[in-house]
Amino acid sequence: MALKRPIIFVGPPGAGKGTQARRLAEFYGVPHLSTGEMLRDHVARGTELGQRAKPLMERGELVPDDIVLGIVEERIARADCASSFVFDGFPRTMPQAQTLDEILKRRNFRSPLVVNFKVDHDTLVYRIAGRRTCSIGGEVYNVHERPPKVEGRCDKDGGELIQRSDDRAEVVRDRLAAFDRQTMPLVDYYRSTGDLAEVDGSADVEEVSKRLSEILARHGADGNRA
């Protein structure tokens, strides 16, 4: 199995990007690059960068581009990113998208395939309220739609399942607003400059996975079927 192009998942919080990015990355044996997870790791370790990011993340605002781009540049320079990777939650602003284009060109990657996850607002709010995240490996569950086998514990590593502090209802509103204001313009940007596909993210996990593999094959990203 070979992933032939970098993949970018764009969509509001709760659209299923993280769940699908994990599955896809595991399937192809490439890194799953979630800037949200990388930032939460910095916050948990109390690094200087984490201390700058923490108050913004707690308010549901975006972290400044220079911080996020620094993390991403450093990450994709590592050996495991040599063939390809799946971005989840990055880029989220126009400057991030433009800088990513330059980085990918400089590193001789093929143009990315961008998938826009479309989900209506009420479904997002319902999903995020039920979301629980493994405190060890970051695996994502949902008490309504995808509960763990044992309540409160991750099926994979037994880690405690927690609610992310920014998944609280009052913060979710601001995260959705940040998406509409800062990230939605990327959809038009990629529609005009790149290769954009859309998926209905409100279907169940298996169905969305199936549709994604069809999209990857159609857009020359799947090494076996392209």
Among residues 6, 11, 12, 13, which is the contact residue for ligand AMP, using CB under 6 A?
Answer: 13
- What SS3 class is residue 31? coil
Give the CB-side neighbour count of residue 94, counting CA atoms within 13 A: 8
Q: CA–CA separation, 197 vs 117, rounded Å?
A: 9
As annotated, the active-site residues are 17, 92, 131, 164, 175
Q: Quick one: 61 or 214, whose CB is closer to ligand AMP?
A: 61
Which phi and psi angles does 9 have, rounded to 5°? -100, 120
Residue from the set 39, 97, 172, 216 that interacts with ligand AMP by CB under 6 A: 39
Q: Is 56 in the site for ligand AMP (CB under 6 A)?
A: yes
Residue among 194 and 223 whose Cβ is closer to ligand AMP: 194
| Buried-exposed string 19-49: b where 16+ CB fall within 10 A, e elsewhere | bbbbbbbebbebbbbbbbebbbebbeeeeeb
97: contact with ligand AMP by CB under 6 A: no
Interface region with ligand AMP, contact rule CB under 6 A, candidates 3-11, 89-97, 154-162, 215-223: 89-97
Closest contact distance (angstroms) between CB of 171 and ligand AMP is 8
Specify the stretch interacting with ligand AMP by CB under 6 A; choose among 1-9, 76-84, 91-99, 119-127: 91-99
Secondary structure (3-state) at 221: coil
Q: Which of 11, 31, 89, 148 touches ligand AMP by CB under 6 A? A: 89
Strand pairing class (32-34; 113-118): unpaired
β-pairing verdict for 86-88 and 7-10: parallel
Q: What is the CA radius of gyration of the chain?
A: 17
Site string for ligand AMP, 204-223 (x = CB under 6 A): --------------------
CB 13 within 8 A of CB 175: yes
Interface with ligand AMP in residues 141-200 (CB under 6 A) = 166, 175
Does residue 36 belong to the site contacting ligand AMP (CB under 6 A)? Answer: yes
What is the token pair recorded at 66? 């220079």
Number of residue whose CB is nearest ligand AMP? 36
Residues near ligand AMP, by CB under 6 A: 13, 35-36, 39, 56-57, 60-63, 68, 89-92, 96, 166, 175
